[in-house]
Structure 1
Amino acid sequence: MKEVIFAGKCDGIGISHVSRDCDLDETIGFYKNEYQIYYILDGERFFYTNNKSFKMSKGTLSFIDKKRIPFTNVIGGKYHERILIEIEETWLISAGNTMELDLRGFFNDFHGVLQMNSRQQEMIEKKLRKMEDVLKAEKPYASAKVKELLFSIIIMILNGAGTRQDEYHTLGGKMMRYVKVKEIMYYIMEHYSEIYGLEDLAGIFYLDKSYLSRIFKEVTNFTVNEFINLQKIDHARNLILDDSLSIEDISKKLGYERLSYFDRVFKKYVGMSPLQYRKSRKTT
């Protein structure tokens, strides 16, 4: 059972306040795979990253770096009440430039779980509830106020608020699924050009296809095919810079049987065709 206490957004930022008494697979938020900040008001969750587990309990503030979302998951806990802030990368970069802060670097440095003391908890909860209030009231200045409050929380952390949580040792079923999925992910990263999809991986790891598909999505928030394509396109960006390789050569090198399909997938993830990307990189 879940209760959505509040959900609202402004340009580049989404905020959701949820109470739930079980660990559900579906997410409640506005953006997929963007920068995230979790604050736990009550109960507990578990933050898994780099094959380690950290307990998120009352008064913890957790930061998730977008680049590490495929290797990070927040799951577990019989009951919890949390506030989640999701931040679009385009806004984060723009805001960081305006404020003269490297905000992507900030999320990289503070990726993980921080425990706030009682005074810090009081201050952060006041700021988070104020964010909800101004969005509910739909005031003309709501977006500006939300962003001001978000920056004030970031400044608190930069000034030394919070202490790093120690690793929490657990061998629960979810942890086992997490470890198995990480093994599969690292295999994909090493053999991305040789893998065509879910069926290949199911055979390699001796797993049922539907089970593999379900746990992979649960842990990474990507489908298997999405993650394979992300690896291929990431490598394609570098290969395209080599003028000695034709776009067709690159497509074959990455394991795409049809050039038209490679072109379509590349455009989906990059926003332009491979040829347009090559031309754009020459002018920068």
Structure 2
Amino acid sequence: MGTNTTTDDVTIDTGAMLELGTGGTSGLIVSGQPIHNNGTLVVNHSDTVTLNQIIDGNGALVQAGVGETLITAADTYTGATSITGGTLALAGNGSIAASSGVHANSVFDLSATTNTAPSITALDGTGAIILGANTLNLTNANSGFGNVFSGVASGTGGLAVGAGTEILAGDNTYTGATTVNQGATLQLGNGGTGGRISTSSAIHNNGALVVDHSDAVALTQGIDGTGNLTQQGQGITTLSAANSYTGATTITAGTLALSGDGSIATSSGVHDNGVFDVSGSSSTTPSIAALE
């Protein structure tokens, strides 16, 4: 398929697939007209491709090549977005907020979008997310879509979970804030040794923050908000900041430890069904609101 020019809309019917490219540098639709995608649109290039037309419909988009696909329009398609190779990037006003979710098994680059808070419905995969200075918002993390992301999100931007449950199973390096909205859950770890955020990332928790590790995790940044904290894994979670969150603290397994200036004095209380270790606290009289 070469470079095709058309003044007509492009339509992909239900059950059909349109593949742009076969792994090389050719295979493109040059048109300002929309792509009505009710099937599957696949981009398979080795170079950079720009899709500046709106993609609508209930179909899926697949970034399959080793190249880069730039989305510069506010697309409204509602199917899944899969990144199996190369890079899918949002640039300018590019948006895929209506997509049912992103399977990010390669690179998802948000650094060039002019929207400082780009949103997607849900996220899973093993790839890389380049945030730049932007904060990625997950609007419904477990809406029948995968919700375990074991890749790495990087940049000076942050992550916000608006609804549902998102599990981070990789060791993320982004330094912006981590926000958990009311009614949402962010889980660090999935029972193993992966699943961290940078200690430079402040945690604003108005929902539920769950730590599920088999090893030792240190949360040296402060946790604020009205949300709850749960120590769920078999490992040890150590808090060394004067946290100000006001929700409940629950230990269902493993150990929650206070170290140095670590404090959970503003928490509404501790439900201790594991181990609550205050031996490393620099305070000889660490305080909690209640204990059961």
Provide the TM-score with structure 1 as the length reference. Answer: 0.19
Question: Whose RCO is larger (CA < 8 A, sep 6+)?
Answer: 1
Provide the TM-score with structure 2 as the length reference. Answer: 0.19
Q: Which has the larger share of strand?
A: 2
Q: Which has the larger share of helix?
A: 1
Higher-Rg structure is 2
